[in-house]
Structure 1
Amino acid sequence: MVRSVPGWLRVAAIVFIAATLIVLLAPLIVVIGASVSESQFISFPPQNFSLRWYAAVLSSSAYLSAALISLQIALAVTVTATLVGGAAAIALHRRQLPGSEVLATLFLSPLVLPTIIYAIGMLMFWSATFGPVSPVVLWLGHSVIALPYVVRTTLAVLSESDPALEEAARTMGANRLQRLWLVVVPQCLPGLAAGAFFAFNISFDEAVLSLFLRKPGLTTLPVQIYGQLEFSPDPSVAAVSSLMIAITVVLILVIDRMLGLKRVASV
Protein backbone atom coordinates (compact mmCIF):
# COMPACT_ATOMS: atom_id res chain seq x y z
CA MET A 1 0.00 0.00 0.00
CA VAL A 2 1.34 3.41 -0.97
CA ARG A 3 1.73 5.68 2.01
CA SER A 4 0.51 9.26 1.71
CA VAL A 5 3.05 12.06 1.57
CA PRO A 6 3.44 13.78 4.96
CA GLY A 7 2.04 17.28 5.17
CA TRP A 8 5.34 18.81 6.27
CA LEU A 9 7.06 17.36 3.21
CA ARG A 10 4.44 18.91 0.90
CA VAL A 11 4.95 22.27 2.58
CA ALA A 12 8.73 21.95 2.31
CA ALA A 13 8.45 21.10 -1.40
CA ILE A 14 6.20 24.12 -2.04
CA VAL A 15 8.58 26.42 -0.16
CA PHE A 16 11.56 25.05 -2.08
CA ILE A 17 9.85 25.50 -5.45
CA ALA A 18 8.76 29.02 -4.55
CA ALA A 19 12.27 29.95 -3.39
CA THR A 20 13.74 28.55 -6.61
CA LEU A 21 11.32 30.57 -8.73
CA ILE A 22 12.15 33.71 -6.77
CA VAL A 23 15.89 33.21 -7.22
CA LEU A 24 15.43 32.59 -10.96
CA LEU A 25 12.89 35.29 -11.74
CA ALA A 26 13.79 38.08 -9.32
CA PRO A 27 16.92 39.20 -11.24
CA LEU A 28 14.91 39.33 -14.47
CA ILE A 29 12.19 41.40 -12.83
CA VAL A 30 14.78 43.81 -11.42
CA VAL A 31 16.48 44.20 -14.82
CA ILE A 32 13.22 44.81 -16.66
CA GLY A 33 12.01 47.19 -13.96
CA ALA A 34 15.24 49.20 -14.04
CA SER A 35 15.02 49.49 -17.83
CA VAL A 36 11.75 51.46 -17.69
CA SER A 37 12.87 53.94 -15.07
CA GLU A 38 13.31 57.67 -15.75
CA SER A 39 16.27 57.78 -13.37
CA GLN A 40 19.76 58.52 -14.72
CA PHE A 41 21.11 55.63 -12.67
CA ILE A 42 20.21 51.96 -12.33
CA SER A 43 17.61 51.71 -9.60
CA PHE A 44 14.78 49.48 -8.50
CA PRO A 45 11.87 49.93 -8.08
CA PRO A 46 11.69 52.22 -11.12
CA GLN A 47 11.11 55.92 -10.65
CA ASN A 48 8.17 56.67 -12.96
CA PHE A 49 7.68 54.83 -16.24
CA SER A 50 9.68 55.69 -19.33
CA LEU A 51 10.94 54.00 -22.50
CA ARG A 52 13.68 56.57 -23.00
CA TRP A 53 16.45 54.06 -22.41
CA TYR A 54 15.08 51.71 -25.05
CA ALA A 55 15.05 54.63 -27.47
CA ALA A 56 18.60 55.50 -26.44
CA VAL A 57 19.76 51.93 -27.09
CA LEU A 58 18.02 51.67 -30.47
CA SER A 59 19.57 54.97 -31.55
CA SER A 60 23.06 54.21 -30.22
CA SER A 61 25.59 53.37 -32.93
CA ALA A 62 27.80 51.58 -30.37
CA TYR A 63 25.03 49.23 -29.23
CA LEU A 64 23.68 48.65 -32.75
CA SER A 65 27.13 47.91 -34.15
CA ALA A 66 27.90 45.50 -31.31
CA ALA A 67 24.50 43.82 -31.71
CA LEU A 68 25.08 43.37 -35.45
CA ILE A 69 28.48 41.76 -34.84
CA SER A 70 27.01 39.44 -32.20
CA LEU A 71 24.13 38.51 -34.48
CA GLN A 72 26.39 37.75 -37.45
CA ILE A 73 28.72 35.61 -35.37
CA ALA A 74 25.84 33.84 -33.61
CA LEU A 75 24.16 32.95 -36.91
CA ALA A 76 27.43 31.66 -38.37
CA VAL A 77 28.09 29.65 -35.21
CA THR A 78 24.56 28.23 -35.25
CA VAL A 79 24.93 26.99 -38.83
CA THR A 80 28.42 25.59 -38.24
CA ALA A 81 27.64 23.91 -34.92
CA THR A 82 24.38 22.44 -36.22
CA LEU A 83 25.91 20.97 -39.37
CA VAL A 84 29.11 19.68 -37.77
CA GLY A 85 27.48 18.59 -34.52
CA GLY A 86 24.59 16.87 -36.27
CA ALA A 87 26.90 14.99 -38.64
CA ALA A 88 29.19 14.01 -35.76
CA ALA A 89 26.26 12.79 -33.65
CA ILE A 90 24.93 10.62 -36.49
CA ALA A 91 28.37 9.11 -37.10
CA LEU A 92 28.94 8.53 -33.38
CA HIS A 93 25.51 6.93 -32.97
CA ARG A 94 26.21 4.51 -35.80
CA ARG A 95 29.72 3.86 -34.45
CA GLN A 96 31.12 4.13 -37.96
CA LEU A 97 34.14 6.16 -36.87
CA PRO A 98 37.25 4.50 -35.42
CA GLY A 99 37.56 5.32 -31.74
CA SER A 100 34.00 6.64 -31.56
CA GLU A 101 33.98 6.63 -27.73
CA VAL A 102 37.13 8.75 -27.63
CA LEU A 103 35.69 11.10 -30.23
CA ALA A 104 32.45 11.42 -28.27
CA THR A 105 34.44 12.45 -25.21
CA LEU A 106 36.44 14.90 -27.32
CA PHE A 107 33.31 16.55 -28.73
CA LEU A 108 31.86 16.97 -25.24
CA SER A 109 35.11 18.12 -23.59
CA PRO A 110 34.41 21.89 -23.99
CA LEU A 111 31.61 21.44 -21.44
CA VAL A 112 34.11 20.72 -18.66
CA LEU A 113 36.92 23.05 -19.79
CA PRO A 114 36.74 26.48 -18.12
CA THR A 115 35.97 29.07 -20.76
CA ILE A 116 38.61 31.48 -19.51
CA ILE A 117 41.32 28.83 -19.86
CA TYR A 118 40.17 28.06 -23.39
CA ALA A 119 40.02 31.78 -24.24
CA ILE A 120 43.59 32.39 -23.07
CA GLY A 121 44.85 29.32 -24.93
CA MET A 122 42.97 30.28 -28.10
CA LEU A 123 44.37 33.81 -27.98
CA MET A 124 47.96 32.62 -27.51
CA PHE A 125 47.68 29.93 -30.18
CA TRP A 126 46.08 32.18 -32.78
CA SER A 127 48.43 35.10 -32.15
CA ALA A 128 51.52 32.90 -32.40
CA THR A 129 50.31 30.98 -35.47
CA PHE A 130 48.18 33.35 -37.56
CA GLY A 131 48.74 36.82 -36.12
CA PRO A 132 46.11 39.32 -34.95
CA VAL A 133 42.66 38.11 -34.00
CA SER A 134 39.77 38.54 -36.42
CA PRO A 135 36.06 37.67 -36.69
CA VAL A 136 37.16 34.25 -37.95
CA VAL A 137 38.82 33.31 -34.67
CA LEU A 138 35.77 34.53 -32.74
CA TRP A 139 33.53 32.39 -34.96
CA LEU A 140 35.76 29.33 -34.47
CA GLY A 141 36.02 29.85 -30.74
CA HIS A 142 32.27 30.21 -30.28
CA SER A 143 31.64 27.19 -32.52
CA VAL A 144 33.86 25.00 -30.35
CA ILE A 145 31.98 25.79 -27.14
CA ALA A 146 28.57 25.52 -28.85
CA LEU A 147 29.29 22.23 -30.62
CA PRO A 148 28.82 19.93 -27.58
CA TYR A 149 25.23 21.07 -27.11
CA VAL A 150 24.26 20.08 -30.65
CA VAL A 151 26.07 16.74 -30.33
CA ARG A 152 24.45 16.00 -26.98
CA THR A 153 20.89 16.88 -27.97
CA THR A 154 21.13 15.03 -31.30
CA LEU A 155 22.59 11.92 -29.66
CA ALA A 156 19.77 12.00 -27.12
CA VAL A 157 17.18 11.95 -29.92
CA LEU A 158 18.99 9.25 -31.87
CA SER A 159 19.21 7.04 -28.80
CA GLU A 160 15.41 6.84 -28.79
CA SER A 161 14.95 6.58 -32.57
CA ASP A 162 13.63 3.44 -34.24
CA PRO A 163 16.36 1.75 -36.33
CA ALA A 164 13.68 -0.28 -38.11
CA LEU A 165 12.62 2.83 -40.05
CA GLU A 166 15.96 3.15 -41.78
CA GLU A 167 16.05 -0.59 -42.40
CA ALA A 168 12.59 -0.39 -43.95
CA ALA A 169 13.75 2.46 -46.21
CA ARG A 170 16.75 0.39 -47.28
CA THR A 171 14.45 -2.54 -48.03
CA MET A 172 12.29 -0.27 -50.17
CA GLY A 173 15.31 0.62 -52.31
CA ALA A 174 16.46 3.93 -50.77
CA ASN A 175 20.18 4.52 -51.10
CA ARG A 176 22.39 5.71 -48.27
CA LEU A 177 21.96 9.42 -49.04
CA GLN A 178 18.18 9.08 -49.34
CA ARG A 179 17.98 7.21 -46.04
CA LEU A 180 20.06 9.89 -44.39
CA TRP A 181 18.03 12.81 -45.74
CA LEU A 182 14.54 11.31 -45.62
CA VAL A 183 14.72 9.12 -42.50
CA VAL A 184 17.62 9.98 -40.20
CA VAL A 185 17.56 13.79 -40.44
CA PRO A 186 13.79 14.06 -39.74
CA GLN A 187 14.32 11.87 -36.68
CA CYS A 188 17.13 14.19 -35.55
CA LEU A 189 15.13 17.38 -36.09
CA PRO A 190 14.08 18.01 -32.44
CA GLY A 191 17.67 17.47 -31.27
CA LEU A 192 19.08 19.67 -34.04
CA ALA A 193 16.55 22.42 -33.26
CA ALA A 194 17.34 22.32 -29.53
CA GLY A 195 21.07 22.28 -30.26
CA ALA A 196 20.77 25.20 -32.69
CA PHE A 197 18.81 27.15 -30.05
CA PHE A 198 21.53 26.55 -27.46
CA ALA A 199 24.30 27.34 -29.97
CA PHE A 200 22.74 30.68 -30.91
CA ASN A 201 22.15 31.75 -27.31
CA ILE A 202 25.58 30.65 -26.14
CA SER A 203 27.32 32.52 -28.94
CA PHE A 204 25.14 35.63 -28.65
CA ASP A 205 25.65 35.83 -24.86
CA GLU A 206 29.29 34.71 -24.71
CA ALA A 207 31.40 37.34 -22.97
CA VAL A 208 34.66 35.70 -21.85
CA LEU A 209 35.81 34.50 -25.27
CA SER A 210 34.64 37.73 -26.89
CA LEU A 211 36.56 39.76 -24.31
CA PHE A 212 39.85 37.94 -24.90
CA LEU A 213 39.49 37.66 -28.68
CA ARG A 214 38.40 41.22 -29.32
CA LYS A 215 40.15 44.00 -31.18
CA PRO A 216 39.21 47.59 -32.07
CA GLY A 217 36.07 47.46 -34.17
CA LEU A 218 35.25 43.91 -33.07
CA THR A 219 33.12 44.42 -29.97
CA THR A 220 30.21 42.10 -29.33
CA LEU A 221 27.10 43.08 -27.42
CA PRO A 222 28.06 41.39 -24.08
CA VAL A 223 31.46 43.13 -24.18
CA GLN A 224 29.75 46.44 -24.91
CA ILE A 225 27.49 45.90 -21.91
CA TYR A 226 30.46 45.16 -19.67
CA GLY A 227 32.22 48.28 -20.88
CA GLN A 228 29.14 50.40 -20.25
CA LEU A 229 28.80 49.00 -16.73
CA GLU A 230 32.46 49.67 -15.98
CA PHE A 231 32.76 53.24 -17.20
CA SER A 232 29.27 54.77 -17.34
CA PRO A 233 26.53 52.61 -15.81
CA ASP A 234 23.01 53.74 -16.65
CA PRO A 235 19.63 52.06 -17.27
CA SER A 236 20.51 51.57 -20.97
CA VAL A 237 22.36 48.45 -19.83
CA ALA A 238 19.14 47.13 -18.32
CA ALA A 239 17.28 48.01 -21.52
CA VAL A 240 19.76 46.02 -23.64
CA SER A 241 19.54 43.10 -21.24
CA SER A 242 15.74 43.19 -21.43
CA LEU A 243 15.90 43.10 -25.23
CA MET A 244 18.21 40.09 -25.06
CA ILE A 245 15.72 38.36 -22.76
CA ALA A 246 12.98 39.18 -25.27
CA ILE A 247 15.03 37.62 -28.09
CA THR A 248 15.37 34.41 -26.10
CA VAL A 249 11.62 34.32 -25.43
CA VAL A 250 10.89 34.86 -29.13
CA LEU A 251 13.22 32.00 -30.08
CA ILE A 252 11.44 29.71 -27.62
CA LEU A 253 8.08 30.68 -29.10
CA VAL A 254 9.35 30.03 -32.63
CA ILE A 255 10.59 26.55 -31.64
CA ASP A 256 7.27 25.88 -29.92
CA ARG A 257 5.43 26.94 -33.06
CA MET A 258 7.57 24.87 -35.42
CA LEU A 259 8.27 21.71 -33.42
CA GLY A 260 6.41 21.89 -30.15
CA LEU A 261 8.16 22.87 -26.93
CA LYS A 262 7.30 19.60 -25.19
CA ARG A 263 8.91 17.61 -27.97
CA VAL A 264 12.11 19.65 -27.84
CA ALA A 265 12.19 19.77 -24.03
CA SER A 266 12.04 15.98 -23.90
CA VAL A 267 15.45 15.79 -25.62
Structure 2
Amino acid sequence: MVKEFPPFVKLLSIGFGVVIALYMLVPILVVAGVSINTNRFLSFPPEGLTLEWYSEVFTGGTYLQPFLTSVIVAIFATLITVTVGTAAALAITRFDIPYAGAIQGFLLSPLIVPTIILGIGTLSLISALGEAPSVWILVLAHAVITIPYVMRTVMGVMANHDRFTEEAARTLGASGWHRYRSVVLPMARPGIVAGGFFAFNVSFDDAVVALFLRSHSVETLPVAIYGQLEFDASPTVAAVSTLMVLVTVVVMIFMERTIGLGKAFI
Protein backbone atom coordinates (compact mmCIF):
# COMPACT_ATOMS: atom_id res chain seq x y z
CA MET A 1 0.00 0.00 0.00
CA VAL A 2 1.37 3.42 -1.00
CA LYS A 3 1.85 5.77 1.92
CA GLU A 4 0.29 9.21 1.83
CA PHE A 5 2.65 12.04 0.99
CA PRO A 6 3.64 14.27 3.93
CA PRO A 7 1.84 17.64 4.13
CA PHE A 8 4.98 19.63 3.34
CA VAL A 9 5.43 17.66 0.10
CA LYS A 10 1.86 18.50 -0.94
CA LEU A 11 2.38 22.18 -0.10
CA LEU A 12 5.66 22.19 -2.00
CA SER A 13 3.99 20.63 -5.04
CA ILE A 14 1.13 23.15 -4.94
CA GLY A 15 3.55 26.05 -4.57
CA PHE A 16 5.67 24.78 -7.44
CA GLY A 17 2.56 24.47 -9.62
CA VAL A 18 1.47 28.01 -8.75
CA VAL A 19 4.93 29.39 -9.61
CA ILE A 20 4.93 27.61 -12.98
CA ALA A 21 1.41 28.84 -13.74
CA LEU A 22 2.34 32.43 -12.89
CA TYR A 23 5.53 32.17 -14.93
CA MET A 24 3.45 31.16 -17.96
CA LEU A 25 0.42 33.41 -17.45
CA VAL A 26 1.92 36.70 -16.25
CA PRO A 27 3.62 37.55 -19.59
CA ILE A 28 0.32 36.92 -21.39
CA LEU A 29 -1.53 39.14 -18.93
CA VAL A 30 1.07 41.89 -19.41
CA VAL A 31 0.65 41.73 -23.19
CA ALA A 32 -3.14 41.84 -22.80
CA GLY A 33 -2.78 44.87 -20.51
CA VAL A 34 -0.56 46.66 -23.01
CA SER A 35 -3.14 46.00 -25.76
CA ILE A 36 -5.79 48.10 -23.96
CA ASN A 37 -3.43 50.90 -22.91
CA THR A 38 -4.18 54.44 -24.07
CA ASN A 39 -0.46 55.15 -24.44
CA ARG A 40 0.74 54.91 -28.05
CA PHE A 41 3.88 53.12 -26.96
CA LEU A 42 4.40 49.70 -25.38
CA SER A 43 4.14 50.37 -21.67
CA PHE A 44 2.78 48.66 -18.57
CA PRO A 45 0.76 49.13 -16.38
CA PRO A 46 -1.94 50.77 -18.53
CA GLU A 47 -2.46 54.49 -18.09
CA GLY A 48 -6.06 54.15 -19.34
CA LEU A 49 -8.34 51.66 -21.06
CA THR A 50 -9.19 51.66 -24.76
CA LEU A 51 -10.06 49.23 -27.56
CA GLU A 52 -8.59 51.52 -30.21
CA TRP A 53 -5.74 49.17 -31.01
CA TYR A 54 -8.07 46.22 -31.64
CA SER A 55 -10.09 48.41 -33.99
CA GLU A 56 -6.91 49.40 -35.81
CA VAL A 57 -5.96 45.73 -36.21
CA PHE A 58 -9.21 44.96 -38.06
CA THR A 59 -9.53 48.21 -40.01
CA GLY A 60 -5.90 48.88 -40.89
CA GLY A 61 -4.04 47.13 -43.68
CA THR A 62 -1.01 46.10 -41.65
CA TYR A 63 -2.26 42.83 -40.17
CA LEU A 64 -5.46 41.81 -41.96
CA GLN A 65 -3.89 40.45 -45.14
CA PRO A 66 -1.02 38.68 -43.30
CA PHE A 67 -3.63 37.16 -40.98
CA LEU A 68 -5.62 35.80 -43.92
CA THR A 69 -2.41 34.47 -45.48
CA SER A 70 -1.47 32.72 -42.23
CA VAL A 71 -4.93 31.15 -41.94
CA ILE A 72 -4.91 29.93 -45.54
CA VAL A 73 -1.39 28.51 -45.23
CA ALA A 74 -2.17 26.85 -41.89
CA ILE A 75 -5.43 25.28 -43.15
CA PHE A 76 -3.94 23.78 -46.30
CA ALA A 77 -0.74 22.71 -44.53
CA THR A 78 -2.86 21.00 -41.87
CA LEU A 79 -4.96 19.18 -44.48
CA ILE A 80 -1.83 17.87 -46.19
CA THR A 81 -0.21 16.99 -42.88
CA VAL A 82 -3.26 15.15 -41.54
CA THR A 83 -3.59 13.15 -44.76
CA VAL A 84 0.06 12.17 -45.11
CA GLY A 85 0.84 11.87 -41.40
CA THR A 86 -2.21 9.73 -40.64
CA ALA A 87 -1.56 7.42 -43.59
CA ALA A 88 2.09 6.99 -42.58
CA ALA A 89 1.25 6.40 -38.92
CA LEU A 90 -1.43 3.82 -39.72
CA ALA A 91 0.85 2.02 -42.17
CA ILE A 92 3.69 1.80 -39.65
CA THR A 93 1.48 0.67 -36.74
CA ARG A 94 -0.79 -1.75 -38.64
CA PHE A 95 1.54 -3.42 -41.12
CA ASP A 96 4.98 -4.98 -41.10
CA ILE A 97 6.47 -2.87 -43.87
CA PRO A 98 10.17 -3.03 -44.82
CA TYR A 99 12.41 -0.37 -43.31
CA ALA A 100 9.58 0.95 -41.14
CA GLY A 101 12.06 2.37 -38.63
CA ALA A 102 13.97 4.25 -41.32
CA ILE A 103 10.75 5.64 -42.81
CA GLN A 104 9.54 6.71 -39.38
CA GLY A 105 12.85 8.38 -38.58
CA PHE A 106 12.86 10.22 -41.90
CA LEU A 107 9.33 11.57 -41.45
CA LEU A 108 10.02 12.59 -37.85
CA SER A 109 13.38 14.24 -38.65
CA PRO A 110 11.93 17.78 -38.93
CA LEU A 111 11.54 17.65 -35.14
CA ILE A 112 15.31 17.60 -34.65
CA VAL A 113 16.40 19.71 -37.63
CA PRO A 114 16.48 23.44 -36.75
CA THR A 115 13.77 25.36 -38.57
CA ILE A 116 16.33 27.89 -39.79
CA ILE A 117 18.08 25.06 -41.65
CA LEU A 118 14.77 23.97 -43.16
CA GLY A 119 14.07 27.56 -44.20
CA ILE A 120 17.46 27.99 -45.84
CA GLY A 121 17.19 24.59 -47.51
CA THR A 122 13.73 25.31 -48.91
CA LEU A 123 14.82 28.71 -50.22
CA SER A 124 17.92 27.18 -51.84
CA LEU A 125 15.83 24.41 -53.43
CA ILE A 126 13.24 26.69 -55.00
CA SER A 127 15.99 29.05 -56.17
CA ALA A 128 17.78 26.15 -57.87
CA LEU A 129 14.50 25.18 -59.54
CA GLY A 130 13.97 28.74 -60.74
CA GLU A 131 10.85 29.24 -58.66
CA ALA A 132 9.87 32.25 -56.58
CA PRO A 133 8.40 32.11 -53.05
CA SER A 134 4.64 31.68 -53.09
CA VAL A 135 1.81 30.71 -50.79
CA TRP A 136 1.79 27.12 -52.03
CA ILE A 137 5.52 26.67 -51.54
CA LEU A 138 5.06 27.95 -47.99
CA VAL A 139 2.19 25.48 -47.53
CA LEU A 140 4.43 22.57 -48.59
CA ALA A 141 7.25 23.79 -46.34
CA HIS A 142 4.89 23.99 -43.36
CA ALA A 143 3.49 20.56 -44.19
CA VAL A 144 7.00 19.13 -43.94
CA ILE A 145 7.66 20.61 -40.50
CA THR A 146 4.23 19.63 -39.12
CA ILE A 147 3.94 16.02 -40.32
CA PRO A 148 5.77 14.68 -37.21
CA TYR A 149 3.10 16.08 -34.89
CA VAL A 150 0.29 14.16 -36.58
CA MET A 151 2.40 11.01 -36.87
CA ARG A 152 3.34 10.97 -33.18
CA THR A 153 -0.19 11.56 -31.91
CA VAL A 154 -1.80 9.01 -34.24
CA MET A 155 0.86 6.40 -33.50
CA GLY A 156 0.45 7.01 -29.78
CA VAL A 157 -3.33 6.54 -29.98
CA MET A 158 -3.10 3.43 -32.16
CA ALA A 159 -0.54 1.85 -29.82
CA ASN A 160 -3.19 1.82 -27.05
CA HIS A 161 -5.87 0.09 -29.14
CA ASP A 162 -6.44 -3.61 -29.64
CA ARG A 163 -5.36 -4.71 -33.12
CA PHE A 164 -7.84 -7.58 -33.04
CA THR A 165 -10.78 -5.16 -33.32
CA GLU A 166 -10.09 -4.73 -37.02
CA GLU A 167 -9.63 -8.48 -37.38
CA ALA A 168 -13.02 -9.02 -35.78
CA ALA A 169 -14.61 -6.65 -38.30
CA ARG A 170 -12.93 -8.58 -41.10
CA THR A 171 -14.28 -11.85 -39.71
CA LEU A 172 -17.78 -10.38 -39.68
CA GLY A 173 -17.49 -9.65 -43.40
CA ALA A 174 -16.50 -5.98 -43.46
CA SER A 175 -14.66 -4.90 -46.61
CA GLY A 176 -11.29 -3.16 -46.50
CA TRP A 177 -12.74 0.32 -46.98
CA HIS A 178 -15.56 -0.35 -44.52
CA ARG A 179 -13.06 -1.51 -41.86
CA TYR A 180 -10.94 1.56 -42.46
CA ARG A 181 -13.90 3.95 -42.29
CA SER A 182 -15.83 2.34 -39.42
CA VAL A 183 -13.07 0.88 -37.26
CA VAL A 184 -9.60 2.29 -37.94
CA LEU A 185 -10.41 5.98 -38.42
CA PRO A 186 -12.71 6.20 -35.33
CA MET A 187 -9.93 4.64 -33.24
CA ALA A 188 -7.37 7.10 -34.63
CA ARG A 189 -9.67 10.14 -34.49
CA PRO A 190 -8.38 11.58 -31.16
CA GLY A 191 -4.81 11.43 -32.45
CA ILE A 192 -5.79 12.94 -35.79
CA VAL A 193 -7.60 15.85 -34.13
CA ALA A 194 -4.78 16.47 -31.65
CA GLY A 195 -2.15 16.26 -34.38
CA GLY A 196 -4.16 18.60 -36.58
CA PHE A 197 -4.41 21.04 -33.68
CA PHE A 198 -0.64 21.01 -33.20
CA ALA A 199 -0.01 21.25 -36.95
CA PHE A 200 -2.31 24.26 -37.35
CA ASN A 201 -0.73 26.11 -34.43
CA VAL A 202 2.84 25.36 -35.51
CA SER A 203 2.10 26.54 -39.04
CA PHE A 204 0.16 29.61 -37.90
CA ASP A 205 2.88 30.66 -35.43
CA ASP A 206 5.90 29.88 -37.62
CA ALA A 207 8.10 32.87 -38.31
CA VAL A 208 11.49 31.36 -39.23
CA VAL A 209 10.58 29.38 -42.36
CA ALA A 210 8.03 32.04 -43.37
CA LEU A 211 10.73 34.72 -43.09
CA PHE A 212 12.96 32.94 -45.62
CA LEU A 213 10.03 32.38 -47.99
CA ARG A 214 8.72 35.92 -47.68
CA SER A 215 7.98 38.04 -50.72
CA HIS A 216 6.07 41.22 -51.51
CA SER A 217 2.90 39.15 -51.93
CA VAL A 218 3.50 36.51 -49.25
CA GLU A 219 3.72 37.71 -45.67
CA THR A 220 2.36 35.80 -42.70
CA LEU A 221 1.12 37.31 -39.45
CA PRO A 222 4.19 36.44 -37.30
CA VAL A 223 6.49 38.00 -39.90
CA ALA A 224 4.31 41.12 -39.99
CA ILE A 225 4.47 41.34 -36.19
CA TYR A 226 8.26 41.10 -36.19
CA GLY A 227 8.46 43.78 -38.88
CA GLN A 228 6.14 46.06 -36.93
CA LEU A 229 8.21 45.62 -33.76
CA GLU A 230 11.32 46.62 -35.69
CA PHE A 231 9.96 49.87 -37.15
CA ASP A 232 6.94 50.93 -35.07
CA ALA A 233 6.37 49.22 -31.70
CA SER A 234 2.78 50.32 -31.16
CA PRO A 235 0.18 48.59 -28.95
CA THR A 236 -1.38 47.07 -32.06
CA VAL A 237 1.34 44.42 -31.80
CA ALA A 238 0.10 43.52 -28.33
CA ALA A 239 -3.50 43.49 -29.58
CA VAL A 240 -2.63 41.06 -32.39
CA SER A 241 -0.67 38.85 -29.99
CA THR A 242 -3.61 38.77 -27.57
CA LEU A 243 -5.97 37.79 -30.38
CA MET A 244 -3.64 34.95 -31.37
CA VAL A 245 -3.73 33.64 -27.80
CA LEU A 246 -7.53 33.90 -27.77
CA VAL A 247 -7.75 31.92 -31.02
CA THR A 248 -5.69 29.12 -29.45
CA VAL A 249 -7.90 29.12 -26.36
CA VAL A 250 -11.06 28.94 -28.50
CA VAL A 251 -9.65 26.00 -30.47
CA MET A 252 -8.76 24.17 -27.25
CA ILE A 253 -12.26 24.75 -25.86
CA PHE A 254 -13.72 23.41 -29.10
CA MET A 255 -11.55 20.29 -28.81
CA GLU A 256 -12.62 19.79 -25.21
CA ARG A 257 -16.29 20.07 -26.16
CA THR A 258 -16.02 17.73 -29.14
CA ILE A 259 -13.64 14.92 -28.21
CA GLY A 260 -12.18 15.90 -24.84
CA LEU A 261 -8.59 16.96 -24.27
CA GLY A 262 -7.96 13.86 -22.20
CA LYS A 263 -8.72 11.60 -25.17
CA ALA A 264 -6.90 13.82 -27.63
CA PHE A 265 -3.57 13.94 -25.82
CA ILE A 266 -3.34 10.38 -24.49
TM category, shorter: over 0.9
Residue 129 of structure 1 corresponds to 129
Match of residue 16 from structure 2? 16
1:9-61 C-alpha deviation (Å, 9 max, x unpaired): 33332222121111111111011111111110111111111100000001012
Please name the residue that 2:145 is paired with.
Answer: 145
Give the counterpart letter for 2:88 in structure 1.
A
1:190 aligns with 2:190: yes
- Stretch of structure 1 that moved more, 126-135 or 49-58: 126-135
**Distance in 1 of aligned mates of 2:71 and 2:119:** 20
1:162 match: 162
Q: Deviations over 1:109-152 (max 9, x none)?
A: 11111111111111111111242221122111100111000000
Map of 2:253 onto structure 1: 253
| 1:139-197 residue CA offsets vs partner (Å, 9 max, x unmatched) | 11100111000000000010011222111110111111111111100100000000000
Shift of 1:250: 0.9
Q: Which amino acid aligns with 2:70?
A: S
Report deviation, 1:265. Answer: 2.7
Preserved contact between residue 78 and residue 199 of structure 2 (Cα < 8 Å) = yes
The CA distance in 2 between the partners of 1:192 and 1:230, in whole Å, is: 38
Q: Which amino acid aligns with 1:260?
A: G
Deviation (angstroms), 1:96 = 4.0
> Number of residue pairs matched?
266
Query: One-letter code of the match for 2:16?
Result: F
Q: Tell me the amino acid that sits aligned with residue 210 of structure 2.
A: S
Kept in 1: contact 2:86–2:151 (CA 8 A)? yes
Look up the match of 2:206.
206
Amino acid at match of 1:171: T
Q: Distance in 2 between matches of 1:85 and 1:101?
A: 15
Q: Is the 8 A contact 2:191 2:265 kept in 1?
A: no
Counterpart-to-counterpart distance in 2, 1:97 and 1:2: 44
C-alpha distance in structure 2 between counterparts of 1:49 and 1:3, whole Å: 52
**What is residue 63 of structure 2 aligned with on the other side?**
63
- Give 5+ residue unaligned stretches, structure 1: none
Question: Contact 2:38 / 2:48 at 8 angstroms: preserved in 1?
Answer: yes
Structure 2 gaps of 5+ residues are none
Match of 2:86 in 1: 86
Give the Å deviation of 1:2. 4.4
RMSD: 1.3
SS in 2 for 1:43: coil
Partner of 2:117: 117
Report the Cα offset of residue 3 of structure 1.
4.3
Q: Which amino acid aligns with 2:73?
A: I
Secondary structure at the aligned position of 1:62 is classed as coil
Given that 2:31 and 2:242 are in contact with CA atoms closer than 8 Å, whether structure 1 keeps it comes out as yes
Q: Please identify runs of 4+ aligned residues in structure 1 that moved more than 6 A.
A: none
Instruction: Using the TM superposition, give the Cα deviation of residue 62 of structure 1 relative to its aligned residue in structure 2, in angstroms.
Output: 2.3
